Structure 1
Amino acid sequence: MTEAPLPAIRSLPSWLLGRAAARGRALVAEALAAEDMRMWHHVVLSAVRDLAPVAQADLGRSVGLDPKDLVGILNDLQSAGLVVRAPDPKDRRKNAVSLTEAGERKLVRCEKAAREANDVLLAPLPVAERERFLGLLTRISGTRGEAG
């Protein structure tokens, strides 16, 4: 049996993290697809829940989405009855986004699906190692539990 190519590259932490991230994204995307939800739609729905009522521009900045992309996602979510846009109570010239009851129910199901997918990702690790691994990832990613 021959060795896999690129051993120097495949041993780099950045390579390994990238592969693990790709597997995690694939698992979560598959779980969300079962709920008829896409990844960015889930991120936006979650941010709306956390920030609502939130101006579209503030929402886009909070999740790092281009305004054009955000509008498309919000159109999809609104068409599905998951969010509503109404004049912002702080500035009536802007739209503010909020979850509907259907959006809240969908988000609860999607969060459960995403957690279960992440449990599959981390299944090879015992609980103590999972906690340590998450702590280490948080330290090297420069985040404090931010979505990403």
Structure 2
Amino acid sequence: MEPAAPSWLINQVAAHATRLVHDGFAAHGARGYHYRLLAALQQHGPASQADLGRRCGIDRSDVVAALNELAARDLVRRTPDPDDRRRNVVTLTEPGRRELDRLTATLDQIQDTLLAPLSPADRADLTRLLTALLEHHQR
């Protein structure tokens, strides 16, 4: 029997990882977009909706919908930009920080589940190899 093609293996593992992340975040009433937006606000500070969308690689309409959901849960606050009243500045709230911490802990558990059969050295090698592939194809 011939070994499976790397592209097929990557696709299968990615599908499994996607299911794990979806289910893990759904247990918190969250989605991947929520995590990405909260993490970007934590890392870079307040930002316009457009900047958040660009930074996170999320379509503008999806950013608005996800921010509406986050704002309804008091995880982010939108205020008019004092320099341009047509824009909103989005800020992470304290409940948003706590939610991000919960989602990050969930994501850490998901990584451990996904990578369970690998040693720490193998995990580091896999991350290095996947990073090299991604960087090559993003050029």
2:6 is aligned to 13
Which of 98, 103, 110 is residue 103 of structure 2 equivalent to? 110
> 1:30 Cα shift?
1.3
More strand by share: 2
Q: Tell me the distance in 2 between the aligned counterparts of 1:141 and 1:129.
A: 18
Structure 2 CA distance for aligned equivalents of residues 109 and 90 of structure 1: 34
Runs of 4+ in 1 over 3 A off after TM superposition: 89-93
- Equivalent pairs: percent with the same residue? 42
Instruction: Give the TM-score of the pair, scaled to structure 2.
Output: 0.90
Confirm or deny: 8 A CA contact 1:87 1:93 kept in the other structure.
Answer: yes
Structure 2 distance, partners of 1:85, 1:111, is 23
Aligned residues: 136
2:63 is equivalent to residue 70 of structure 1:
yes
Q: Where does the alignment leave 5 or more consecutive residues of structure 2 unmatched?
A: none
The CA RMSD over aligned residues, in Å, is 1.8
After TM superposition, give the deviation of residue 89 of structure 1 in Å. 4.6
What CA distance in whole angstroms lies between the structure 1 residues aligned with 2:26 and 2:72?
Answer: 17
Indicate whether 1:133 and 2:133 are aligned: no
- Written as runs of structure 1 = structure 2, the 5 A alignment for 1:15-54 is 15-54=8-47
> What secondary structure does 2:62 align onto?
helix
> Which stretches in structure 1 are left out of the alignment for 5+ residues?
144-148
2:52 to 59, 69, 94: 59
* AA in 2 matched with 1:67: R
Question: Secondary structure of 2:106's partner?
Answer: helix
Give deviations 1:88-125, integer Å, cap 9, x for gaps.
25544311101110000000000000111011000010
Opposite residue 4 of structure 2, the aligned amino acid is: S
Please tell me the residue identity of whatever aligns with 1:20: V
- The 1-side partners of 2:83 and 2:123 are apart by 43
2:86 counterpart SS class: coil
